[in-house]
Structure 1
Amino acid sequence: MMARRANGEGSIYRRKDGRYEAALYVFTPSGKRKRFRIYGKRRVEVAEKLAEAKVDLIQGIPTAERTWKLGEYLDHWLETVVQPSRRPTTYVRYEGVVRIHLKPGLGNYSLRKLSVQVVQFFVNQQIEAGCSIRTAQVMRAVLRAALNRAKREELVGRNVAELVELPGYRKGAITPWTVGEARQFLQAATGDSLYPLFILLLVYGLRVGESVGLRWSDINLDRLIFQTRQQIQRVAGALRVGPVKTQAGERDFPLLPAARDELLKCRAKQLEARREAGEAWQGTDDAHELVFTTRTGNPIEPRNVARSFQRICARHGIRRTKLHHTKHFTGTLLKDFGASVKDAQIILGHSNVSTTLQIYTHGTAEAQRDVLTKVGVALLSQQTDDRAKERGRHSAGRCRQLLPSNSKIVDRITSFLSGSSDWDRTSDLRLMRSTGDTVFDRSTEVKLVTKRVTRQWMLGAVAVSVAVKRR
């Protein structure tokens, strides 16, 4: 008679339909104890799955209360995690990636059975079908975030998306405006109703949503300061007012006199538009009124700001760039003007200084030329001065006008160049020399001959001394 199995060992038996079934008591993520059942066509297959479930039970890994498919879990993750805790724009972006890419390709796979090979094959197929590498990176990032949550909920043992490899991705080079191009744009936009907004973008590096979300209550015209506390974005087909992108985006700025004057003009135009609109005015009509509004008091569409920006550039022949790249211009200008990295980070509203350095700060040809010129002066100027002095000494040796005009000097110099002092042209062929040679060359030759004769004399003296001692 077989001994009775102990609690927790599980049992395997054959069903009436011919399949095998295993049963085991396990704990769920909610802490409840439930009977977990495993099915399979072969007893060996069921036994292996039962052994895996026992290992999880011993290690304290709970068993999911239901069998999740990846598509079902992604919808659950978007609804219960992303939507309540992330910005609306983030939710819209994640939802689009899940709906368009992940669910059609991977949605029917079991969450627990999802493997690195399956995800890698899916990503490779997407790239071969024409998907950009950047889009593939976004897909992997969204899937990785969802599986990280599943891992925290102890639904999976590892995050397979972290092990997927992708080709390298190179961002397109960004060439910010020069100061001249920015000045040209501001001069061209002087008569535009959004001219004060363009000043805020170029001078302070504000985001477009922060600019259109600026309220009169955020501006202190007496103390000459203003602050950014909210932004306006279009999300899911509607304009929404929300907090700034990050906590670092909540910052205070000194209000420059030129900006203050333009804002005062903007205030006067808004009051006039409000009187003309009358009851049709849609604004708040209080201190929380937006600074930049339409003729009826509605918020300005951020995309309309971009359209006005591009229209001005095209009309006046200014090099076209994206509106967001004005922030790159401000970051680069702060660097060129010697602002510290910390100050630039605060002005641009970045949470991490690496974002300021690696993304929004660019090198310029003028700044590189200036600094390399300084390096060249520091390293090469001394050598240049030394060569100039050496040339000056040689020139002084060759110039007769700088030498004393006495008979001995003249006789010594002319004897080398023109022959003996007793003849107009010497008859001694050994004294005949080309007048093209310099005094410096001749003096060097004399020194060499003198050294050679002196060496020979010393060797002769030593030989004579040795011979005398031997006697």
Structure 2
Amino acid sequence: MARQRKRNPNGSGTVTKRADGRYQAAVYVPQPDGTVKRKFAYGKTYDECDQKRRDLLDRANGGIPTPTRDMSLGDWFDYWLEVIVKPNLKPKSYETYEQGVRNHLRQLLGSKVMVKLGVAELRGVMQRLAEAKGAKTARQALRVLSAALTAAMVEDIGLTRNVAKLVHVRATTDSGKSWDAVTVLRFLAAARRLTVYYPAFLLLCLLGLRRAEVCGLRWENIDLDNRVLWVEQQRQRSSAGTIDLDPKTETSKAPLPLPAQCIAPLRWTRMRTAMLRERAISNGRPWFDDPDGHVFISRTGYPLLASNLYLTMQRVITAEGLDKMNPKGLRKSCGTLLVHLKVHPRIVKAILRHSRIATTMDIYAEALDPDVIEAVGQLDRLLRQPGRIRELEATRPDAKPR
């Protein structure tokens, strides 16, 4: 006679065999809202199901909430933001997700049970949001929801599909405009006259650096003698203050050749920092000794903020009478001009440090109008050969005399 299994102690859950032959474990687990609910897990064998029961108990004993199938989207958003997003993603990503939840998703879908959300219902919600706030806002909210539901599928709640990926919001994609070479030269000439951060704008235009990368640049990342620059961090503002973080992707961490015309301005920047420090100390004015040695600093020694770099750029643009532009547009202009110079797309990708070449070609490297005209003209000249066409037709085996 088979030995009967001992009953589990109180509070340790139960494992039973279902009518369909599978095993079912039931454990009371804490929820993100502080309540306790019964959680079910399933397995093909007793040992498999018992292991899932033990995993649930370990999470509960560690104080980690375990969502259940009847959890609302509002409760899941709280759990997802605090337990999954905040510890694992960058502060800026957390702020983006949190704003999307707070401004739109919570009031529209917060009371809806997550596993019962359907495609038709979500499509109607997104259409109403697009009509009220605009298509771009609706598409961004849909992206946040998709990220939240993707994380929910990993948590073994019972969610089997991401309905946000089955709903589409049509919105125009505006990746911004690019400046041609003449406009970039006008901007740099004005920046050289009007601002001490001219070297920063050189790096934006010639290497396509992101403005957060320019502000996070340190002297230890620059070798002026060998003309090499390493992008190791970017400076971003978060709820914890302004801090240095790793770049967006691993491919962003790459050495770049430093253009020759950047050397003298960067040397001048280093001398300016030493002069400002000496002047502040001798006059008894406040001065911040930056332990990280950032390249671009304010008058009091603090690292330059990305927002201040943006405002400085707008003052230069206004003074010169140029079209509206932002630092990201300078980065795009860099890629566009490289394409205009017939640089191979993979080289452009390496300079801009993208993880995918499609990003380089689709967003940053838009073709200039003269290039489009020239390309169409070349195709026109190639195909405008009536004599050659008649010759090919005459040599066809099935050709018939007219």
Structure showing greater Rg: 1
- Find out whether 1:116 has 2:116 as its counterpart: no
Shift of 1:207: 0.2
**149, 152, 155: which one aligns with 2:154:** 152
Aligned to 1:276: 279
Shift of 1:308: 1.1
Contact 2:119 2:166 in 1 (8 A): yes
- Find out whether 1:228 has 2:231 as its counterpart: yes
Q: Distance in 2 between matches of 1:260 and 1:238?
A: 32
Judging changes above 3 Å, is the alpha-carbon distance between structure 1 residues 80 and 237 closer, same or farther for their aligned structure 2 residues?
closer
Judging changes above 3 Å, is the alpha-carbon distance between structure 1 residues 125 and 269 closer, same or farther for their aligned structure 2 residues?
same
Higher relative contact order (CA 8 A, sep 6+): 2
Aligned residues: 342
Shift of 1:28: 5.5
Kindly provide the CA deviation profile for residues 256-291 of structure 1, in whole angstroms up to 9, marking residues without a partner as x.
Answer: 221001101111111100101227321336xx4111
Kindly provide the CA deviation profile for residues 88-126 of structure 1, in whole angstroms up to 9, marking residues without a partner as x.
Answer: 110100011111211122112223333334323322322
- Find out whether 1:175 has 2:197 as its counterpart: no
The unaligned stretches of length 5 or more in structure 1 are 1-6, 11-23, 31-35, 39-52, 384-471
What amino acid sits opposite 1:346 in the alignment?
Answer: A
Aligned to 1:301: 305
- TM (norm. structure 1) is 0.66
What amino acid sits opposite 1:148 in the alignment?
Answer: T
Q: Distance in 1 between matches of 2:93 and 2:271?
A: 37
Contact 1:71 1:107 in 2 (8 A): yes
Contact 2:67 2:76 in 1 (8 A): no
- Find out whether 1:77 has 2:101 as its counterpart: no
Judging changes above 3 Å, is the alpha-carbon distance between structure 1 residues 105 and 368 closer, same or farther for their aligned structure 2 residues?
closer
- Find out whether 1:368 has 2:372 as its counterpart: yes
What is the DSSP-based 3-state SS (H/G/I as helix, E as strand, rest coil) of the residue aligned with 1:144? helix
Aligned to 1:342: 346
Aligned to 2:244: 241
What is the DSSP-based 3-state SS (H/G/I as helix, E as strand, rest coil) of the residue aligned with 1:284? coil
Contact 2:146 2:164 in 1 (8 A): yes
Aligned to 1:267: 270
Aligned to 2:214: 211
What amino acid sits opposite 1:134 in the alignment?
Answer: K
What amino acid sits opposite 2:152 in the alignment?
Answer: A
Aligned to 1:185: 187
Contact 2:338 2:348 in 1 (8 A): yes
Shift of 1:27: 4.1
**245, 251, 256: which one aligns with 2:254:** 251
Judging changes above 3 Å, is the alpha-carbon distance between structure 1 residues 26 and 310 closer, same or farther for their aligned structure 2 residues?
same
Aligned to 1:395: none
Contact 2:122 2:164 in 1 (8 A): no
Judging changes above 3 Å, is the alpha-carbon distance between structure 1 residues 380 and 104 closer, same or farther for their aligned structure 2 residues?
closer
What is the DSSP-based 3-state SS (H/G/I as helix, E as strand, rest coil) of the residue aligned with 2:129? helix
What is the DSSP-based 3-state SS (H/G/I as helix, E as strand, rest coil) of the residue aligned with 2:242? strand
Shift of 1:178: 0.7
The unaligned stretches of length 5 or more in structure 2 are 1-15, 30-36, 57-65, 388-402
Shift of 1:236: 2.7
- Find out whether 1:329 has 2:333 as its counterpart: yes
Judging changes above 3 Å, is the alpha-carbon distance between structure 1 residues 317 and 29 closer, same or farther for their aligned structure 2 residues?
farther
Kindly provide the CA deviation profile for residues 140-166 of structure 1, in whole angstroms up to 9, marking residues without a partner as x.
Answer: 222222222222222123235235423
Q: Distance in 1 between matches of 2:200 and 2:342?
A: 25
Contact 2:145 2:164 in 1 (8 A): no
Judging changes above 3 Å, is the alpha-carbon distance between structure 1 residues 249 and 57 closer, same or farther for their aligned structure 2 residues?
closer
Kindly provide the CA deviation profile for residues 162-221 of structure 1, in whole angstroms up to 9, marking residues without a partner as x.
Answer: 354234221136331010000111111112111000000001000000011111111111
State the Cα RMSD in Å.
3.0
What is the DSSP-based 3-state SS (H/G/I as helix, E as strand, rest coil) of the residue aligned with 2:296? coil
Aligned to 2:25: 26
Judging changes above 3 Å, is the alpha-carbon distance between structure 1 residues 160 and 173 closer, same or farther for their aligned structure 2 residues?
closer
- TM (norm. structure 2) is 0.77
Moved more, 295-304 or 160-169: 160-169
